[in-house]
Structures are given as C-alpha cells and as structure tokens.
Structure 1
C-alpha cells in the first residue's frame, strides 16, 4: 500500500515542506527507516537522527521546525507523536479482519453470540450462558467460563482464561495468557495456625475501553466485584487482587501489584514494579515512580517515590544526602573526636 507525502499530510492536518509527491509505503524508526518508510521526530533525544536517517518523509513537531533541512520532505504538525499514533490507528483499521468460527472449537448450545464480525479461533471454549456482542474477536486457545458477558468490539488474544460470571465491556483488549477471575488469595488461620481457604464467590467487572497486558492476573472478589473502570490501561505481568477497585483512565506499568480491597481513583500514573498494600485509598491524578512501595493512603495530586513511598521531592533531597552518607559519617566522627578532645583538655 503506497501513499504520497501530501496524502499523509492531509490525513493529519500537516504542512508539507519539500516534495508533496514523495512516495511512502511503510513505517520505520528514525534511526532505522528505509527511504520509502515514514518516520517521525517528537522527542529532543532523537533530533540528531534527522541528518542521518534514510527516510525521505519525516513527520516533525512544530517545535523542531528550525531543524528542517533540504533534500528531504517534512510534514510539520503540532505534535508528531500524536500524528503518528493517528496514522498507525488508521493503518491498523485497513488490515484484513478475522471472521468466522474455526475448528475445532467448543460452543455451548445456550451461548448467545451476535454473529456480525464474530471470530473464534481454534481450540477455544465458550461455556454455558455466555453472551457475546458484535465484532468480538476471540483468538485460539481461549477459555470463556459460564455466564460471562462480553461487549461489542472486544478483542481477546490467544491463551486468555476468563472464569465464570465475569462481565467485560465494549472495546476491551485482553492480551495473551492473561487470567481474569481466578480465586483471590484469601486464607484465614484457625486456632492451630493452619491457613484455611476463604471461598471467593464474587466476580470481576471490566468496563469499556480497558486494556489488559499479557500475562496479567485479575482476581475475583471474595464477595461483590473486583472492578476495573472505563479507560484504564494495564501493562504486562500485573497482579490485581480480590475486591480491588481501579478508577477511570489510569495507567499502570509492568510488574506492578495491588493488594486486596485497595481503592484507586482516576487519572493516576503508576510506574513499573510498584507495590500497593491492601485496604488503602489512593486518590486522583497521582504519580507513583517505578519500584515504589505504597503502604498508606494517598491524597489527590501527590507524587511518590521510594519504598516505603513518600513525597518525591523529599525522596530526591534525601537521596542526595544518602549518596554522601559515608562522608557525613566521617565528618560526624571527626566532630565527636574533636568534642572529646576539647572536653578532655578542658
């Protein structure tokens, strides 16, 4: 599939500097792109590649306009990253869509499936009482348990396991090998200190436009629901425990974990390998840096760092002192010796 630079500029409301008829037939990273591959520049760290790149058509943010050179074609936009994202989405929408029911598969007789745009890959199982909306894509080796509900335009990639009574909204994406609705980690010690399993009888509700990364696990509630609200994006290898509630439009990076019954608000950014203990209340518009450990409630708008996590500004100040800790100890030892000497001489 081939386009001209001008056609691309028209799609993203960009301004052409160079040859409007320059052909483009693919995408490439700025440091690796071939001559007919489209690339982009939206970050200062990559600006030095402008002179080196083989790409003949480059989308650049308006702030880099002064770096435009002759010999290449540039498409100037307000935000290059946003523009390339828009183009990638358009390109993806043009790709052939999978349809139909492959064999072998297993579908319960009383499952309710809207056939429009439906795809079911080989070795997948749809159990009794399942309800599936339009344009749902279920890839090979997926298990859908009893009474699961799946909304329109949802995509479930290979190897996903969805336990019984789970509710999944519209436009949800669940990446490969994730497990939704397995039993929560609930145990209670008896009088002899032996841990006994607490039955986990609730479910998981995943609202519209949620994305769940590969190999992530969302536990069913003990009672009620574990809840992932609209627009939240979970990275790969994330653990969400029983009865957790995660609000709207959060992003949580890989290898993070949230312990049971914690409630997280809206529009938060949580870095990779963050641990959040149970029964906490995390507010809105909070930023938690990677590898932080959160063991207390967090108010709206805070920025946290460290383990246990505290104010990012206080952490950075403390870290400066920590790097000089050995020198500080030496100074303290010298002062103690000096004080002892003065006391002795006095």
Structure 2
C-alpha cells in the first residue's frame, strides 16, 4: 500500500514537517525500518537510533527537532504510530452477527444483535450475550452467564456457569473464568474435604484477561475484577478475591484466595500473594516478590518476603558487603590470635 506522508498525517491529525508528498509503503519499528518505511521516535532518548536509521520518515513528539527527512508531529507518537500500522496493515473486518453452523447455542440462550459465534463454540442454557459480542472458535460459555456488549472472547476460552461480564471485556485464548476455587477443609479421617464453590465471577467494564489466565469462582459470593483492570498471560486469581479498578497484573502473578487490592495497583511479573491479604491503592509490587502481610496505600514493596522498597535496597547493599566484612573479620581474628575462621 502506497500513501503519502500528508495522508498519514491526516489519519492521525498530525503536523507535517518536511516533504508531505513523500511516498510511504510500510510502517516498522525504529530498529527495523528502511527506505520507504515510516517509524516513530517517542522521546529524545531515541534520537541517536533515529539518526542512524534508514527510515524515510517518522512520527515524533514535540521535543524531537526537525530533520532532513519528513516528520509527523503529534502529541502521542506511540499511539499515533499504532493507528498508522493498523491503516497500512489492516485486514478486512470479519462479518458480524454470524453464528457458525457448527456452534451449539442452547434454545434458551439470548443473543443480542451483532453477536458473532465461531466454529464449535458452545453457549449454555439461559446465557445472555450483549450486542456485538464475539465468541471465538471452540469457546465454551456455561449456563446462566450474562455478558454485556462489545465483549471479545478469543478461541478456546472457557466461562463456567454464572459468570457476569460488563461491556468491552476482552479474554484471550485459553483463559478459564469461574473454575472452582481451591478450597478444602483440613484432612479428616485421612482425606481432604472439598468446600463447595457456589459463587461466580463478576468482571466489570473494560477489563482485559490474558491468555492462559485463570480466575476462580467464589465460595458463596462472586470473585470480582474491577473496571479497567488489565491481566497479563498466565495469571492466577484465587476464589473470593476482589481486584480493584485499573490494576495491572503482569505475567505469572499468583493471588491466593480472599485477597483484596485497591485501585491503580501494579504487580510485576511472578509476584505471589498469600491468602487473605489486603493490598492498598496505588501500590507497586516488584517482580518475584512474595507478599505475606497487608500493604498500605501508596507503598512500593519488593523482595521475598516483600518489604518497603527503601528497606530492601539497604538490605541488598548490606548483602553485597558481606564478603568484604567476612574478610575483615577473619583478619581481625587472625591478628588477635583467634584463628582465621
């Protein structure tokens, strides 16, 4: 696809600096772009890479200086460049409102206008799907689920019975929502006794759930995921937990049962949270941290067990000095005639 720099600028409401009639054939990242490509320069830190690049043009922010090559100046270069990529590489939209012949939709299920159901998908008894919701191939939605409008369930997602979604929820391939929580009574007469898991899962508007993630149903009431929360791939959320609004849960986070998080909390990769923990709002938890006690609002913690960031940094500094301190102790003991160990 050949377009001019002027056309690209019109797509993203940007200002052209340089030749507006230069022809562009593709959009590539800064390290991969070549002649005929447009790229993007997000900050001044990328200027040296831009100067070394063979790209023909770039989408830039306000701080990037003029160049001999054409520039498109915008407020947010990353998002503008993403729009350009979609325009240049976009595929025709799939038809909406199509129920594949191989899909099984229970007679009591209600599908609003524009719902699309892919091959071999299953929609259970009494389930309701809101307008323009898409159900991917092989996805299974259980009984009495209720989904709002504009949801997207990618292939092979599983929703157990009684799941409730708001609007614009995206669930990626292989995620399992509403499986029974891991709840057992202590061993009695040599066997663990399973506690019935009779609640569901409630996912509010604008949530994204990554591939292979699992959210367990509550014991009696629902497990809840708050508005705007983004969950990465391979994340586990235990039964009865309540995840706040606009949380970011990165890959391989594991949250045990009955935990609560505040709004705008971030958990980096492989964070583990013990059961019945309350984590405040605007908390940041560093990668691979183990959280075993409550975390107050606005705190940054890391380590295992997780602790305040400044304390953990001091401990790390001290640990690095241990070999040196050990050698000094050995020298002192030798000087005092106490041996070198």
Band the TM-score falls in, shorter-chain normalisation: over 0.9
Q: Which residue of 2 aligns with 1:319?
A: 316
User: Which deviates the most, 203-212 or 16-25?
Assistant: 16-25
- The Cα offsets for residues 141-190 of structure 1, whole Å up to 9 and x where unpaired, read as 00010001111000000010000000011100000000000011111124
Q: 1:248 aligns to what SS in structure 2? A: coil
Pairwise mapping of residues 68-217 of structure 1 onto structure 2 (< 5 A)?
68-70=66-68, 72-85=69-82, 87=84, 95-99=92-96, 100-116=98-114, 118-217=115-214
2:222 to 225, 232, 242: 225
Please give the alpha-carbon distance, in whole angstroms, between the structure 1 residues aligned to 2:168 and 2:209: 12
TM-score (norm 1): 0.91
User: Which deviates the most, 10-19 or 321-330?
Assistant: 10-19
Q: 1:51 aligns to what SS in structure 2? A: helix
- The Cα offsets for residues 294-329 of structure 1, whole Å up to 9 and x where unpaired, read as 111111111111111111222222212212221111
User: Which deviates the most, 127-136 or 9-18?
Assistant: 9-18
Give the CA deviation at 1:85.
4.2
Give the CA deviation at 1:88.
5.3
User: Which deviates the most, 134-143 or 320-329?
Assistant: 320-329
- The Cα offsets for residues 79-109 of structure 1, whole Å up to 9 and x where unpaired, read as 3224334555777988413421112110100
After superposition, the Cα gap between the structure-2 partners of 1:156 and 1:91, relative to the gap in structure 1 and judged at 3 Å, is farther
Please give the alpha-carbon distance, in whole angstroms, between the structure 2 residues aligned to 1:131 and 1:15: 46
Q: Is the 8 A contact 1:62 1:79 kept in 2?
A: no
Q: Which residue of 1 aligns with 2:240?
A: 243
Give the CA deviation at 1:261.
0.3
1:285 to 278, 282, 287: 282
TM-score (norm 2): 0.92
Please give the alpha-carbon distance, in whole angstroms, between the structure 1 residues aligned to 2:312 and 2:258: 27
Q: Which residue of 1 aligns with 2:12?
A: 12
After superposition, the Cα gap between the structure-2 partners of 1:255 and 1:40, relative to the gap in structure 1 and judged at 3 Å, is same
Please give the alpha-carbon distance, in whole angstroms, between the structure 1 residues aligned to 2:87 and 2:308: 41
For structure 2, which runs of at least 5 residues remain unmatched after alignment? none
Q: Is the 8 A contact 1:31 1:52 kept in 2?
A: no
Please give the alpha-carbon distance, in whole angstroms, between the structure 2 residues aligned to 1:232 and 1:90: 27
